[in-house]
Chain A
């Protein structure tokens, strides 16, 4: 049954997440470099260092530290960020909406773009047009979001200066929000000019993240569509007199989406991972940007919180993909 499969997968994933958390916890403390050494000024005495370490609980045995942390996690307390001096939960809740909006928008753009090109390529199959699409797509599959981001900067900040380089919104306008979901809130409350401003800041990071995913979608979906188009039921529909585009959308697409979905889901987790560098490039205040600083500064509580958060997001994505694949397959729904 569908529910059983999902629960099973979720349990496995949570176990893996727990394992990852343990590994990261241990790794951070075992290998040289700790937050205290990142913070102290050169002239600090040994006593000062020891006091700081005790302050952050870093002088305790490993197991004790772990136990304290786990107790906190179970109760919903992820500790206090050493560099930001705030609750880790607070920091994450503050920054997560920005990344969620970015990832969601990138997903929408990737699906729309990738889907359209895949359909176009299917309509043009066995013609020169398809060869062009395949060739371009082949190159696009090679290029990571990092390169796209930089290229977009050159294009829209230098060559045709129309987009802002950094941030999420013009600082002046940042005051009027109740939630941290700037884009959603501004659209929902009808403040479209404000939404436009947010979008102009999101445009480049979104496109940079979306293009690699779109390229993967084009390759997978086009392949599945072409396989579906030679099936008998498409032939019968053609004999009923339907046009080519209608055949692709009405008959082939729903059969082609399933095989595409699983690998697209995997690729989407890469997109989430990509926010780490893309947010950095555009100084976009999300959790990705947070991660780099946290790691460089060895902010243990923050790093651990981020690892758990990213892991949790990946689990959700995988479950979401599993559910969608099952939902789309009539054989699984009505056995």
Chain B
């Protein structure tokens, strides 16, 4: 028994104490706002590339090769970040490069998420033989070193954007499958699922109406992280020459070229590298921020 001075009687529940909506929560998280904003800018650049880019990214001009960026001696107006070995404008190529990177990011990550999550949901919720098979498959799959596997796959399937996307999906679906399976199994044991079953809901209905919304936060965060990974994988594959044709500007391709001429024109390496770095960090921080803001447990 604790002696305590009497408290003043409280009025009705304060409106301000009701939990804020999802949109508000997201808007308050600095990571989500900054990273999300940056990615929105990238999307806009990708969509409006012809408007945003000062030059034609494919236009070669050997007289204007390896011109340094603005601020260094020998720079030319109209080529803010300089030109590469074939006289192509670096800034324009970087801007157009966002198209490839974002396409791969959204498509590959999205597909990997879809396939992996479906299999994970099935494995986690229905269990039994299906689960055993899927889990075994995932284990064996994950035994392959990812980089080696992706290079092998592309070398086998052939180069091109579709191949890159396919390679990423084939390698990374296991990531989603594992997480979703664990989460689903955890959710499936909770009271609300047992209750739903007792009331007589069919299993697929429970899966999609009850469990999926609870898994969604983790899934969204993972998806965002995967997008960052996809961008890097594409860059690496471009670097090795296994992505789209060398004419189409990609950050990886520019990095490969830049590395070759790094002593003569370091900016050809630096510009796409900076873009890649910023993009990867942005996706990663966005994923972190989403995980925190969306998760009802973690949020304090």
Chain B stretch 241-281: residues in CB contact (< 8 A) with chain A: 242, 255, 259, 262-263, 266, 269-270, 273, 276-277, 280-281
State whether A147 touches B276 (Cβ < 8 A).
yes
Chain B hits for A20, CB < 8 A: 140, 143-144
State whether B156 touches A33 (Cβ < 8 A).
yes
For the complex, is A153 an interface residue (Cβ under 8 Å from B)?
A: yes
For the complex, is B232 an interface residue (Cβ under 8 Å from A)?
A: yes
Closest approach, in angstroms, between the C-beta of B155 and any C-beta of chain A? Answer: 4
State whether A291 touches B263 (Cβ < 8 A).
no
State whether A292 touches B240 (Cβ < 8 A).
yes
For the complex, is A74 an interface residue (Cβ under 8 Å from B)?
A: no
Closest approach, in angstroms, between the C-beta of A34 and any C-beta of chain B? Answer: 11
A-contacting 9-mer, from B11-19, B55-63, B146-154? B146-154
Chain B hits for A146, CB < 8 A: 232, 235-236, 239
Chain A: how many interface residues by the 8 Å CB criterion? 46
State whether A27 touches B262 (Cβ < 8 A).
no
For the complex, is A295 an interface residue (Cβ under 8 Å from B)?
A: yes
Chain A hits for B143, CB < 8 A: 13, 16-17, 20, 311, 314
Given A165-B262, A296-B155, check contact A154 B144 (CB 8 Å): no
Given A269-B145, A277-B236, check contact A150 B285 (CB 8 Å): no
For the complex, is B288 an interface residue (Cβ under 8 Å from A)?
A: yes
- Which of B139, B145, B259 contacts A273, CB < 8 Å? B145
Chain B stretch 100-140: residues in CB contact (< 8 A) with chain A: 139-140
Question: Bound complex: CA of A153 vs CA of B262, how far in Å?
Answer: 8
Question: Bound complex: CA of A185 vs CA of B105, how far in Å?
Answer: 45
- Chain B: number of interface residues, binned into ranges: 35 or more
State whether B280 touches A295 (Cβ < 8 A).
no
Chain B hits for A295, CB < 8 A: 148, 151-152, 155
State whether B140 touches A147 (Cβ < 8 A).
no
State whether A143 touches B280 (Cβ < 8 A).
yes
Closest approach, in angstroms, between the C-beta of A213 and any C-beta of chain B? Answer: 15
For the complex, is B284 an interface residue (Cβ under 8 Å from A)?
A: yes
State whether A138 touches B288 (Cβ < 8 A).
yes
- Which of A13, A147, A154 contacts B232, CB < 8 Å? A147
Question: Bound complex: CA of A142 vs CA of B283, how far in Å?
Answer: 9
Question: Bound complex: CA of A224 vs CA of B232, how far in Å?
Answer: 30
Question: Bound complex: CA of A20 vs CA of B140, how far in Å?
Answer: 8
For the complex, is A236 an interface residue (Cβ under 8 Å from B)?
A: no
For the complex, is A144 an interface residue (Cβ under 8 Å from B)?
A: yes
State whether B259 touches A16 (Cβ < 8 A).
no
For the complex, is A141 an interface residue (Cβ under 8 Å from B)?
A: yes
Chain A hits for B140, CB < 8 A: 16, 19-20
Question: Bound complex: CA of A13 vs CA of B143, how far in Å?
Answer: 9
Question: Bound complex: CA of A273 vs CA of B171, how far in Å?
Answer: 14
Chain A stretch 268-316: residues in CB contact (< 8 A) with chain B: 269-270, 272-274, 276-277, 280-281, 291-292, 295-296, 298, 303, 306-307, 310-311, 314
Question: Bound complex: CA of A295 vs CA of B152, how far in Å?
Answer: 6
Chain B hits for A203, CB < 8 A: none
Given A295-B152, A298-B155, check contact A143 B281 (CB 8 Å): yes
Question: Bound complex: CA of A154 vs CA of B267, how far in Å?
Answer: 9
Given A16-B139, A33-B156, check contact A314 B145 (CB 8 Å): yes
- Which of B146, B156, B157, B285 contacts A139, CB < 8 Å? B285
For the complex, is B228 an interface residue (Cβ under 8 Å from A)?
A: yes
Chain B hits for A292, CB < 8 A: 151, 240
| Residue from B143, B276, B280, B283 having most chain A Cβ neighbours under 10 A | B143
State whether A142 touches B262 (Cβ < 8 A).
no
Question: Bound complex: CA of A27 vs CA of B157, how far in Å?
Answer: 10
State whether B155 touches A33 (Cβ < 8 A).
yes
Closest approach, in angstroms, between the C-beta of A50 and any C-beta of chain B? Answer: 23
Closest approach, in angstroms, between the C-beta of A116 and any C-beta of chain B? Answer: 23
For the complex, is A63 an interface residue (Cβ under 8 Å from B)?
A: no
Chain A hits for B285, CB < 8 A: 138-139, 142
Chain B hits for A144, CB < 8 A: 232, 280
State whether B148 touches A273 (Cβ < 8 A).
yes
State whether A141 touches B280 (Cβ < 8 A).
no
Question: Bound complex: CA of A220 vs CA of B264, how far in Å?
Answer: 42
For the complex, is A28 an interface residue (Cβ under 8 Å from B)?
A: yes
- Which of A13, A32, A147, A296 contacts B277, CB < 8 Å? A147
Question: Bound complex: CA of A274 vs CA of B281, how far in Å?
Answer: 19
Closest approach, in angstroms, between the C-beta of A316 and any C-beta of chain B? Answer: 13
State whether A291 touches B273 (Cβ < 8 A).
no
For the complex, is A157 an interface residue (Cβ under 8 Å from B)?
A: yes
State whether A158 touches B155 (Cβ < 8 A).
no
Chain A hits for B228, CB < 8 A: 142
Q: Mark B197-212, 1 if CB is under 8 A from A, else 0.
A: 0000000000000000
| Residue from A33, A147, A310 having most chain B Cβ neighbours under 10 A | A147
- Which of B148, B263, B280 contacts A276, CB < 8 Å? B148
State whether B276 touches A291 (Cβ < 8 A).
no
Chain B hits for A270, CB < 8 A: 146
For the complex, is A2 an interface residue (Cβ under 8 Å from B)?
A: no
Chain B hits for A27, CB < 8 A: 152, 156
Closest residue of B by beta carbon distance from A311: B143
For the complex, is A31 an interface residue (Cβ under 8 Å from B)?
A: yes
Given A150-B273, A277-B236, check contact A158 B263 (CB 8 Å): yes
A-B contact pairs, 12 of them (CB 8 A): A16-B143, A33-B155, A139-B285, A147-B273, A150-B269, A154-B262, A292-B240, A295-B152, A295-B155, A296-B151, A296-B242, A307-B148
Which 8 residue pairs are nearest across A and B when measured between Cβ atoms?
Answer: A142-B284, A273-B145, A295-B155, A158-B266, A31-B156, A276-B147, A273-B147, A142-B281
Q: A151-B273, A303-B152 are in contact. List 9 more A-B contacts (CB 8 A).
A: A141-B284, A142-B228, A143-B277, A150-B255, A153-B262, A158-B266, A273-B148, A276-B148, A277-B240
